[in-house]
Structure 1
């Protein structure tokens, strides 16, 4: 499948099929043995422009040619029906399938040999039947490459877990020597930040053209294999800080910046884009685009394709990028989407996310087929349930899932929406389905920060920190000024026993202005109880702002607040058994009396103090979009956190909430790995 398509018997005797379309059809079938292709779809790809009846007749002739060539060797290998075609997956072996199987089975020598054989060859090279086929083949190549990257990542994680240093190094060397791993070979990817564009508008009205251009450029550039685009949260934070361009580049750890302007007048729009060298702040490349509003809204690919080739040439990389997203051609829906998504992502201020949801709902009411907006609406429901004091968290999870399903129905390539379905499955006691969705989402959208973060946290929640860490580190690298990412990084290092690194991650979170109880837990885990108590105590000043009050609970005065945080800090962080017992009693009482008995203010301390009975009661009854984050630290192997895991009822609890099923499929945490069975 890599390079020029070739075919041979199992004994190695070459098979020649002279009809090039028959050869291409066989190659298409071998890309996914056992999976069916629609006859109409195949005929349109291989005979573009022909009448349907003619194309179908030509397809039948190709199938006869294949059957005649393969019949004496493997009769009946084709599986034909009235509308579909497939090839028997049990009777075909490809170099791609062999490599994936070797990686999955841990046959590192075979995998490395296969990698050496395919080298830098492109999948199905030298097959060309026009633009429709080229577009399809380009998507298949991206799909195969992302599958391989994921398979290699999983194999490396398993080799690291089993301490197979030689195997890990052998696989890394083989993968890096392969030109498809060129960004790894050169070091990390070229890192770019797309700064907010200025909009100069002589017409007025709520039309967020500059935001739309930035959104499209970020998506297109982020799909280039050799480039990593920094997340919008980090970029917005730094862009609004008053720094110079070189200072922004340092803060975001990027080599290049992109900035620009959008001018809108009655004559149309003009877009200016500049690529800037980060260290010097000097322009490297610039371009402009003159067009209409419809060019931006109805045909965003014009903006992307107009600038991408020049940007890639300036960066010295290939201009391969993903196909257009399922957006909207309606200018009002697009403007509402941009505004609503921007507001909901801020997750700050009373009613901000709710306002964002209102705008997004207006957008999908105008255009119900707006897949990207349904995904943004799903994420907004997740945020309002996860980060605001609301009592309808269960219902919000359902809203989130409904919106995500609508996005996927409209656009099956919606990795972001799939990841949110994974969140829904996790809170509904089906973590194996959550990981299934998470891995599929990552295959579809490996460059989406949200997808990688959710897959990483699913793994963390199940105690698979070693597997999770590469995903979390990628998220932090791509979005380095977003404090919440460091909570996951801190938790991963805590679970792996890397306490110095956990403290560094927690401190970075605090430095960015986010509440960092994880830092206090990291200090306590490292035996620094005095610093841990002080760190947790200092969180009290954030109550009611960055730390929301539990839903349904009234405000408290400063004296009551200070007394509560004093009890909590000593109970969680001091190592004093009496202080722990006192605070365990307090959260027992809160669990019985609060409007939301499963709130973070009860669930998180229960985990950190190893209050096993309460932990199992809370998460056995209701994992929510808010308290799910506490599970990341359930697996820290220090006292008292480990008491929950060591409780005699823990495995029964883990079985009831679906953890055991997930472990049986995706691997057990090191501390719970079943002993090998001897015969």
Structure 2
């Protein structure tokens, strides 16, 4: 290995000598190319990001000089495994699979065995470029990488702590070391606390495990004013129960197998939990991916209606798409007891769906079936799959919930097809004007095919809300009226549809300004489907607007628990930021908004909240930088037109502080 990025930047030449580039910018450019891998970057983007403020010619010349410096240490030759490759448009650093610690780290995570995870844990000496002085203008460039690998490290320490062999093993040592390094940089890293709790319990030291839980609880209370997650509390509760009953697990000398000693967290009240993995598309046509994905979304929705099930949101389970997986590993990572997997084959109007239900702890098959017929029977197939899964898990299913779960979203297959295409554009893509326009077009086509398709109305209305938030509206009055019309129609048609109520209710609040009606619709959605992460997320937003920030923080946390790997996770981080802002906790608001922006750098709502929060927290240099970013995202935003994007604050003081923060940050009149 010649290149280390985890824990700092260390580079070794092919001759095994330390490499020192002429400037810090060149070192960081090298790191950026390593992180990008073989896909590389466009020269124009690199020169603008690394040498801002210079003319185009000067910036490109600086880039050329830096690349010459890199080539001195890594020249191109037939034997070279690390070298620069590019043309006039783009540039990439080509490296072998074992030349960079980042590559090895990712590969070991993918392989997933206990020894592989331990190897990855030892590699993680700290965050990406930890300790390196990164100029402010490059924060946004490297921020997503820093955030991504920190999350991977937290997932790693959780996974490894659940896969430990005998006490005193190399895997246990690696896991403990990683947990301690993570806590040294962030005492609120709950996954690291959980890992240490499990390690202490693994060794038979229940008192030490409970002390670790108390350290976790105090750190969260002090720094975030938050309580431990349900997973952590459940883990501690199981230890306390052993203490009370005297049922102490044997220590390391007992010879009991490690598999019997691992503490696996459980849901409250022993609630059955399930995840539906992406179904394989066996159609031989990549264009049918959206249809297979839509099958999963609908099965998740059907299962989520059963209140006694904890159902992980489809957006989180989709992180496993295209990966070779181990069912037990999935169960540990998502914290579920059951996993569903299957496949879809569509040829014309013929359809074949296979599904199977597995026990994640043992890998045993509990149910499997195949459904074949015409496309017109697709909803019946979905009903049968959902009912079969629930029947295999528990015989106690309320009849009313079964009937609601079986309700078809539409009878029109063309409408359904357009709806699925709209979801593929809206939920699986980066939030841009183009993808939102595509989604709106598909949802409106679905409505054209089926004028009583409630969820399509709700999703179309939500597209207009995105247009308002980003100031993409062309005719604001007409588009506001259209968004409100669509939202009201969605609620009218979908009074028993949690998705229609959630999305439609949010649009009534944000675009229509009726925050109380918005809250009522979203509360009904939560009553209908308590497993719908989007409903909890929108509820967090509306509670913040109503002046109930503590409720908002709790509800955003529930959304994140239900869908921990959701590509829209950044929205719920923003809702948390907005809640802290309304509570006057400006430092917390700024940090949550910053988390959101790491995943979605172009998120205008989070940028506005971050800017106002930095100013009101007296963090003026950060506010200045954030205001510059806001002006870049929305050059025509002014105090005079700010009302176009403001949340519908119920309390006048929340609104005035928001406006005053942006005014102090330099937003022009």
Give the structure-1-normalised TM-score.
0.48
Structure with greater Cα Rg: 1
